[in-house]
């Protein structure tokens, strides 16, 4: 029998005590570490944390304006990213639509030598309506405008001479992911080859085929048989900015609505505004409700000539309202309140309203609410009154922001196409960031010198061939700053195209209608939108940061 007093027992007990002490020490140490973290941790500002979530929204390849947070990225830019990754910058943009590829192939392979009707005895006269003329022009366009998808052609008409034909067409740029169409009309000089087939002898520039341009109704014909003078260019029939109406009292009564009162997002930068608006639209979709939208925007001072926040800007100046209302269920705020007031005037029973006073009431808690109107109110001080707070935390797992619903204004994109077309879609582009950053040498010590005219010439010579069309997208206010480059390139700046938004332009006349008959200023945000999109269409794109300067985009030690 074993002796109970044998020395093996104290050893076992000591071992158990040792293990217990070690385990307890580990537990105490873990609690201590957790306590230190809890005490010292400072949560980031909610807007800063949202930037981490929106990196895909605010960072953009191929253009430094967007990576510089100057312009909000929209559905044209990111709508297809989730479906198919964008090609690397050096990869050529190719046409991927099989129907268009087949159409282009047919044009190239079909009777490239379209036979002229009646022979070519009289080479000075061209029958512009002959199908062979259009086929020849189509083939020419496909060969010379690689970045353009040609969608619809009109039958060619006579130009100013007997061997000239004017033709109009619809197109889109292959770099733009939207389905929107743009228009051009050009004048072609047509001749014959040795075997009596049509050929293009000469093609004039953007909007040169004035006899083929779409016109407003010809008016003021003074005498019978007298040809009326051509009117102004017809408004773009691809734009429908009309405000939708509910239509009837029953439609209003049976509807379910989500309304956001103004919060701290008002008068913030456009990235902030779009991020918050998309949160609201996402919640409306999640709740299966119609969103009540205020079309009035407050433009932040950084984009205004007065250097002050300016209220009363129309959403439709900057973004495509037609696409938005076709994509998500919305009703304009003024129409909504007008119908609400009319309904309650005609009925004793009031519309049920649920007022939600804090963003902490989650969309999930409101999912089964049957109230006709859910009214979110944002009356608390910043940052508690930001719309996007509704989509934070757990709600972010349920709310899907409809990125695809926001496109840039078609009117501004028409200006982008005009500028690109005037350079025959054959240009390179450089983005030159100066302004406040160039003056702040404590944060950007080299930027001013690296973007000086002499430095630009040296750095661009090895990248862009001489005498190319060079579009300079910049925030440099002195127009003649880039004159040194004119000895090497055909320099184009945004201000070279002021007539496109001047008081006689299509853009000015149409935005004035939206603005109640008052003229609209082509403000700083519009300039950046257009400048950025033209830059993006350049065949070669040179960035300021990492190309022109070693300075970091966000300042010292931020690379």
C-alpha separations of 541 from 137, 463, 475, 550 in Å: 30, 10, 17, 17
Task: Say yes or no: 377 and 473 in one domain.
Answer: no
- Using the predicted structure, report yes or no on whether residue 310 has a pLDDT greater than 80: yes
Residue 394 maps to a domain? yes
pLDDT band at 248 (very low <50, low <70, confident <90, very high): low
Does residue 242 surpass a pLDDT of 80? Answer: yes
What burial class does residue 170 get, using C-beta atoms within 10 Å of its C-beta: 0-12 exposed, 13-18 middle, 19+ buried? Answer: middle
pLDDT at site 249: 67
pLDDT in tens, 526-551: 999 999 999 999 999 999 998 999 99
Q: Please work out, in degrees rounded to the nearest 5, the angle formed at the alpha carbon of residue 70 by the alpha carbons of 67 and 73.
A: 65
User: What pLDDT band is residue 125 in, cutting at 50, 70 and 90?
Assistant: confident
383 and 455 in one domain? Answer: no
Residue 208 vs residue 31, higher pLDDT: 208
Highest mean pLDDT among 15-29, 95-109, 281-295: 281-295
pLDDT digits (tens, 9 = 90+) for 54-77: 443 333 333 333 335 678 888 887
Torsion on CA atoms 17, 23, 28, 29, rounded to nearest 10: 130
Residue 255, in any domain of the structure: yes
Looking at 405, 427, 445, the residue that finishes a domain is 405
| Token couple for 73 | 């990225």
% of the chain with per-residue pLDDT over 70: 76
Give 114-117's long-range contacts (Cβ < 8 A, gap of 24+). 114/197, 114/198, 115/196, 115/197, 116/192, 116/196, 116/197, 116/198
Across 117-131, 290-304, 370-384, 479-493, least confident range: 117-131
Residue 109 lies in a domain: yes
Residue 283 has pLDDT above 80, yes or no: yes
Q: In the prediction, which pLDDT does 92 show?
A: 31
CB burial of residue 44 (10 Å; 0-12, 13-18, 19+): exposed
pLDDT for position 294: 96
Query: For position 343, what pLDDT does the model report?
Result: 85
pLDDT digits (tens, 9 = 90+) for 202-233: 999 999 999 998 876 433 434 444 444 444 56
Q: Does residue 375 sit in the same domain as residue 260? A: yes
105/186 same-domain check: yes
Residue 361 pLDDT greater than 50, yes or no: yes
CATH number at residue 263: 3.40.50
Residue of 279, 477, 249, 265 lying closest to 384 (CA atoms)? 265
Q: How many CA atoms lie within 13 A of 485 on its CB side?
A: 29
Q: Are 404 and 288 in contact (CB under 8 A)?
A: no
**pLDDT score of 557:** 82
Which range of residues forms the domain containing residue 349? 249-405
Burial of 74: CB neighbours in 10 Å, binned 0-12, 13-18, 19+: buried
Concatenated DSSP letters of 504-530? TSHHHHHHHHHTTT------HHHHHHH
The reply to whether 257 and 401 lie within a common domain is: yes
Question: For 393, left (φ over 0), alpha (ψ -120 to 50), or beta?
Answer: left
Q: Which of 405, 426, 461 is the last residue of a domain?
A: 405
**Rounded CA separation 97/90 (Å):** 21
Split into its structural domains, the chain has a count of 3
Same domain for 473 and 525? yes
Residues 289 and 389 in one domain: yes
- Residue 118: Cβ-neighbour burial (10 angstroms; 0-12, 13-18, 19+): exposed
pLDDT band at residue 78 using 50, 70 and 90 as cut-offs = low
**Residue 68, domain member (yes or no):** no
Does any domain span residue 280?
yes
The pLDDT assigned to 110 comes to 52
User: Are 126 and 192 found together in one domain?
Assistant: yes
pLDDT at 233: 62
- Nearest to 357, CA basis, from 331, 336, 384, 332: 384
Is 401 found in the same domain as 286?
A: yes
Task: Give the mean model confidence (pLDDT) for residues 129-140.
Answer: 95
Q: What is the per-residue DSSP string for 114-177?
A: PBPTT-SS-TT---TTSHHHHHHHHHHHHHH-TTEEEEEEPPPEE-SSTTEEEEEEEEEETT--
- Judge whether 56 lies within some domain: no
pLDDT for 469: 98
Tell me, yes or no, whether 60 lies in a domain.
no
376 in the same domain as 418: no
Q: Which residues contact 515 (CB under 8 A, 6 or more apart)?
A: 314
Residue where one domain finishes, among candidates 405, 422, 455: 405
Q: Are residues 332 and 369 in the same domain?
A: yes
| Residue 253 forms part of a structural domain | yes
């Amino acid at each position: 029998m074993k002796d109970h007093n044998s020395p093996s027992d104290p050893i076992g007990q000591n071992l158990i005590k040792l293990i217990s002490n070690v385990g307890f020490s580990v537990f105490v140490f873990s609690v201590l570490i957790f306590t230190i973290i809890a005490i010292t941790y400072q949560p980031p500002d909610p807007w800063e944390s949202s930037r981490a979530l929106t990196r895909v929204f605010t960072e953009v390849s191929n253009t430094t304006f967007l990576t510089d947070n100057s312009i909000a990225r929209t559905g044209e830019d990111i709508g297809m990213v989730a479906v198919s990754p964008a090609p690397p910058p050096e990869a050529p943009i190719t046409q991927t639509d099989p129907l268009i590829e087949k159409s282009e192939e047919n044009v190239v392979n079909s009777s490239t030598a379209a036979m002229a009707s009646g022979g070519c005895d009289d080479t000075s006269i061209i029958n512009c309506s002959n199908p062979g003329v259009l086929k020849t022009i189509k083939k020419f366009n496909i060969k010379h405008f690689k970045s353009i998808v040609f969608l619809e052609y009109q039958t060619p008409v006579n130009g100013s001479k007997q061997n000239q034909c004017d033709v109009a067409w619809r197109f889109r740029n292959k770099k733009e992911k939207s389905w929107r169409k743009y228009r051009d009309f050009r004048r072609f000089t047509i001749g014959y080859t040795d075997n009596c087939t049509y050929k293009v002898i000469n093609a004039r520039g953007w909007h040169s085929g004035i006899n083929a341009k779409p016109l407003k109704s010809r008016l003021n014909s003074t005498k019978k048989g007298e040809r009326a003078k051509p009117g102004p260019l017809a408004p773009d029939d691809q734009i429908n900015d009309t405000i939708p109406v509910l239509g009837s009292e029953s439609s209003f009564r049976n509807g379910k609505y989500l309304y956001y009162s103004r919060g701290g997002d008002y008068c913030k930068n456009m990235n902030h505004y779009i991020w918050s608006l998309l949160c609201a639209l996402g919640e409306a979709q999640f709740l299966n409700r119609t969103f009540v939208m205020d079309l009035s925007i407050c433009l932040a001072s950084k984009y205004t000539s007065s250097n002050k926040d300016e209220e009363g800007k129309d959403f439709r100046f900057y973004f495509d309202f037609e696409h938005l209302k076709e994509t998500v269920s919305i009703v304009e705020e003024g129409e909504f309140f007008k119908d609400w007031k009319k309904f309650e005037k005609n009925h004793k029973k009031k519309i049920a309203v649920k007022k939600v006073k804090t963003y902490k009431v989650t969309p999930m808690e409101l999912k089964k609410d049957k109230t006709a109107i859910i009214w979110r109110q944002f009356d608390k001080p910043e940052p508690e009154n930001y719309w996007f707070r509704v989509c934070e935390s757990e709600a972010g797992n349920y709310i899907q922001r409809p990125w695809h619903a926001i496109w840039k204004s078609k009117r501004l994109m028409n200006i982008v196409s005009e500028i690109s077309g005037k350079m025959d879609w054959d240009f390179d582009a450089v983005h030159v960031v100066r302004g406040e950053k160039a003056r702040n040498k404590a944060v950007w010590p080299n930027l001013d010198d690296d973007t000086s005219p002499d430095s630009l010439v040296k750095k661009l010579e090895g990248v862009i061939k001489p005498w190319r069309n060079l579009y300079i997208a910049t925030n440099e206010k002195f127009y003649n700053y880039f004159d040194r480059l004119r000895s090497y390139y055909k320099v184009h700046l945004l201000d070279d195209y002021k007539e496109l938004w001047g008081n006689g332009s299509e853009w000015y006349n149409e935005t004035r209608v939206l603005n109640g008959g008052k003229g609209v200023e082509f403000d700083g945000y519009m300039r950046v939108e257009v400048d950025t999109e033209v830059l993006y269409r350049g065949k070669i794109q040179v960035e300021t940061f990492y190309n022109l300067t070693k300075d970091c985009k966000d300042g010292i030690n931020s690379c």
